[in-house]
Each structure stands twice: as C-alpha cells, then as structure tokens.
C-alpha cells in the first residue's frame, strides 16, 4: 500500500529565496526538480493540467546547486 505524506516546511513569514540555477524533469513528467543559488533543491509536482505545486524543499548544501542528474539503476 502506497502512503502519501504531505511535505511540511517551517520558516518565518518570508519563505527562503530560491534563485533557480538548475532544473530537470523526471521521466514520468510528474515531478520537476530545481536547484538554487542558495543551495536548496526543490521538488515540484506537475499535474496533467500543467499546474505546478511545491512538494518538498531540501536544505543542506553550502554552495549553489548548479547541476542536477538522475541516478542510474
């Protein structure tokens, strides 16, 4: 059984900056991944109606994310 858990991000009244420096889309064309100058990676859900909604934000890089690549099997 697949369980869906919504992502929750907690910050103050202003969300962190996310100046996109890299972008890729998954093979199933349902998720867009962006890397930022601020060192974050964001996952965005892309609906069949081409609506984009935030899914997750990953913090931890200390430098800009300038390249994204999918892992090989």
From the number of C-beta atoms within 10 Å of its C-beta (0-12, 13-18, 19+), residue 49 rates as: exposed
Report CA-CA distances (Å) from 61 to 14, 15, 39, 66: 20, 17, 5, 11
Q: Is residue 35 part of a domain?
A: yes
Q: Is residue 64 part of a domain?
A: no
Q: Is residue 62 part of a domain?
A: no
Q: How many domains does the chain have?
A: 1
Q: Are strands 31-36 and 52-58 parallel, antiparallel or unpaired?
A: unpaired
Q: Is residue 71 part of a domain?
A: no
Q: Is residue 41 part of a domain?
A: yes
Report CA-CA distances (Å) from 11 to 21, 61, 73: 22, 18, 35
Q: Is residue 44 part of a domain?
A: yes
Token representation of residue 69: 């690549």
Q: Is residue 32 part of a domain?
A: yes
Q: Is residue 70 part of a domain?
A: no
User: Residue 32 belongs to what domain range?
Assistant: 20-51
Q: For residue 59, what pLDDT is reported? A: 83
- Please list the ranges in the chain whose pLDDT falls under 70: 1-12, 15-16
Q: For residue 32, what pLDDT is reported? A: 93
Q: For residue 68, what pLDDT is reported? A: 94
């Amino acid at each position: 059984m697949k369980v869906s858990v919504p992502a929750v991000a907690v910050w103050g009244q202003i969300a962190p900056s996310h100046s996109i420096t890299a972008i890729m889309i998954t093979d199933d064309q349902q998720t867009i991944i962006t890397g930022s100058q601020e060192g974050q990676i964001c996952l965005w859900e892309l609906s069949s109606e081409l609506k984009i909604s935030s899914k997750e934000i990953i913090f931890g890089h200390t430098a800009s994310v300038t390249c994204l690549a999918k892992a090989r099997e």
